[in-house]
Chains A and B, each alone.
Chain A
Amino acid sequence: QVQLHESGPGLVTPSGTLSLTCAVSGDSISSSNWWSWVRQPPGKGLEWIGEIYHSGSTNYNPSLKSRVTISVDKSKNQFSLKLSSVTAADTAVYYCARLPAAPSPFIDYWGQGTLVIVSS
C-alpha cells in the first residue's frame, strides 16, 4: 500500500521560506511516477504547485515558478518543496501526491495534507 506523509513547520513568517518534505512508503521514489505538490487555501480550490521525476526533471506552475523548488532525495525515499518569499496568500493545506507517468497522468495517491500558516 502506497502511503505519502507530509511534514514540516506549520507556521512560517512572512517573507520567509516554506519547507515541506513528503516521505514515501510502499513505492520507490525512483519508480515511474511523478511526485507532486498541490495546495488548497482554506475554503478554496486546489492549486497544482509542481512535480518532479526521479531523474530530477521538474515541472512548475508558471504562477509560482520563480519561488518554488522541488527536489528528490533517493536515499531517504522522499521529496521536498521549498517556497520562498511567502505571504499570507500562501497559507494553505499542502498535499503531496503521486502521478503514474503516462500520457495523461492522474493523481492516484495523496498525502493527508498539512496546514501551513504564514503569519508573524
Chain B
Amino acid sequence: DIQMTQSPSSLSASVGDRVTITCRASQSINNYLNWYQQKPGKAPNLLIYTASSLQSGVPSRFSGSGSGTDFTLTISSLQPEDFATYYCQQSYSRRTFGQGTKVEI
C-alpha cells in the first residue's frame, strides 16, 4: 500500500501569510496527487488535481507542485475563508489520503 504523509499536522498563520503544506508518498506516484480542503461539518472540496492543475472555480492563490514522491500545496496569501483542514490523496494505486493539515489562526 502507498502511504501518504503530510506535514505539518497543524499550523498557525495569519491573514496574508504564505502557507506551504507538504505531502510525501511512500513510493513514486508520478503526478497522481490531488488536494482537498475541508471545513467543519462539510464534505471536502477539490482544490488541485494531478499535482498542479487548479480545479475550476478555485481561487488562483492556491497552487500545487511536485512529482514522484514529494508534493506541495501553497496558498500565496491566506484569506479568512482558507482556515480549514487540507488533505492530499494519491490515485496511483487505489486511493490513499494523507492524515490532514489543519490551518488555524
Is B65 part of the binding interface, using a Cβ–Cβ cutoff of 8 Å? Answer: no
- Dominant SS at the B interface? loop
> Of B13-21, B69-77, B87-95, which stretch is located at the interface?
B87-95
- How many B residues touch the partner, as a band? 20 to 34
A106-B1 CB under 8 A given contacts A95-B43, A111-B43, A112-B43:
no
Q: Within 8 Å CB of B94, what residues of A?
A: 48, 59-62
Is B99 part of the binding interface, using a Cβ–Cβ cutoff of 8 Å? Answer: yes
Interface residue from B30, B43, B89 paired with A113 (Cβ < 8 Å): B43
- How many A residues touch the partner, as a band? 20 to 34
- Dominant SS at the A interface? loop
The answer to whether A106 touches B46 (Cβ under 8 A) is yes
Chain A nearest CB: distance from B60 CB in Å? 19
The answer to whether A46 touches B44 (Cβ under 8 A) is yes
The answer to whether B100 touches A46 (Cβ under 8 A) is yes
Closest to A113 in B: B43
Hey, which bits of chain B sit against chain A, CB under 8 A?
A: 1, 30-34, 36, 38, 43-46, 49-50, 55, 87, 89, 91-92, 94-100
Hey, which bits of chain A sit against chain B, CB under 8 A?
A: 36, 38, 45-48, 51, 59-63, 95, 99, 103-108, 110-113
Q: Which 9 A-B pairs have the closest CB atoms?
A: A110-B43, A104-B32, A48-B95, A106-B34, A106-B49, A46-B97, A45-B100, A104-B91, A104-B50
